[in-house]
Copies of this chain bind each other. A is one copy, B any other.
Amino acid sequence: MLLIPGPVSCSTEVIKALGTDSLSHTGGEFTPIFHNVLKQLRVLFHSPTSSGSMPLVISGSGTLGFDLVGNNLFPRGKNKILLLSTGYFSDEFGECLGDYYKHDITVLKSDVVGESINLVKLQDLLHKGSYDGVVMTHVDTSTGVLNDIKRISELVHSESPGTLVIVDAVCSLGCEEIRFDDWQLDFVLSASQKAVGAPTGLSISMISKRALDIALENDNTVSYYTSLKKWVPSIKSYEIGELPVTYFATPPIQLISALNIALQQLLSRDYVGEHRKRSNWFKKELTESLGLELVSRGPVETTAHGLASVYVANPGGIVTALNRLDIAIAGGIHPEIKGQYIRVGLMGCDASEPTLLRVLDAVRQSQT
């Protein structure tokens, strides 16, 4: 039983689509599959073709999305980027943009570990400074903090309309609502192996028209494999779906076939509602019944719905006890509070009520 916050357990149908032989990457069998994946991603992101946006699916892990941003969206030079930091993964994103792509990073940290970004402080910074991009983590998998990206984007657009709004949604796509066009987002990066319900190995993103224009005119990209000038013609040809498609690098046939089924299943359900309900119930059990404190602060309804991060007396003991029952949960990874909490994934096929009840039991026993 896989109850870590990703990779998650996939459905039987997804695994069946995965366990098929290779197809020609430019042929008539695979092209409609990739076409369908891209079409469904537009539904998932609420972003039709008419908006000029574009979905991207690239062979690689979620981390590759950091490079798509750093390499393409800011023509090189000292670009000013405001990084909203709510945990380990925000800081990794900042390392990529600052230490590697040499952008000038200003960090706005949450006031306390577990809090989302302070909007008053954000408004103040936006008012005083001039930023080429604001970068945030929708859900930081290290803390379970959920940022209100809709309100943050509104703030950015009202204070600084030229600034790109960039979101890491690795741990939110498929379990939190993301209205790409309505919320005027410019780049959302995610991955296949969390709430989307597919295997690991695909970087999934959506890029706005204005960000795409920047990327395609950017003459200073330094990384070849993450250059959108190379990828966009190929992915666009799969989205059009007519042969011959344009080749750049061979797409991972089976992972894309599995993603196709995962998206069909996801979009046929009220995936936001289901994750909310499960998360709210589980977190109330942790806080109200067991009297524990979540790492993510505020009402449980406003914390990430794809995982629960909770302070416990003996994190290692609980992880080990559950391992013995064949249930994998995760320990903490936020450097400031690493040894003080556990993380329980609430995404994927194994995150059912009976299994979560067993987790609650193990937590209860360890507290006594």
Contacts and interface: CB of A to CB of B under 8 A. Distances in A.
A225 B309 CA distance: 27
Given A10-B22, A24-B2, A24-B7, A59 B201 contact: yes
Q: Is the interface of A mostly helix, strand, loop or mixed?
A: loop
A255 B201 contact: yes
A290 interface: no
A75 interface: no
For A27, A61, A200, which residue has the most chain B Cβ atoms within 10 angstroms? A200
Contacts of A199: 22, 252-255
A81 interface: no
Nearest to A14: B21
Contacts of A253: 7, 199-200
Nearest to A95: B224
Interface stretch (A63-71, A118-126, A146-154, A280-288): A63-71
A250 interface: yes
B193 A22 contact: yes
Contacts of A9: 21-22
A63 to B, nearest CB: 4
B224 A67 contact: yes
Contact of A250 (B24, B27, B193, B222): B193
Contacts of A10: 21-22
A74 interface: no
A61 B15 CA distance: 21
A7 to B, nearest CB: 4
Contact of A251 (B61, B222, B224): B61
A6 interface: yes
Contacts of A2: 21-24
B19 A15 contact: yes
A328 B248 CA distance: 19
B27 A328 contact: yes
A171 to B, nearest CB: 12
A24 to B, nearest CB: 5
A15 B24 contact: no
A199 B258 CA distance: 13
Top-8 shortest CB links A-B: A19-B19, A201-B252, A223-B223, A96-B224, A61-B249, A63-B249, A7-B22, A100-B224
Interface of A: 2, 4, 6-10, 15-16, 18-25, 27, 59-64, 66-67, 70-71, 95-96, 99-102, 191, 193, 199-201, 221-227, 247-255, 328, 333, 348
30 contacts: A2-B21, A7-B24, A7-B25, A7-B253, A8-B22, A9-B22, A15-B20, A15-B21, A18-B254, A24-B328, A25-B200, A59-B61, A61-B249, A61-B252, A62-B250, A63-B249, A66-B224, A67-B224, A70-B224, A71-B223, A95-B224, A100-B223, A101-B222, A191-B250, A193-B250, A201-B252, A201-B254, A222-B222, A223-B223, A223-B226
Given A2-B24, A10-B21, 14 more contacts: A2-B22, A4-B24, A6-B250, A8-B22, A9-B21, A22-B193, A22-B200, A59-B201, A61-B250, A67-B225, A96-B225, A99-B224, A101-B222, A199-B255
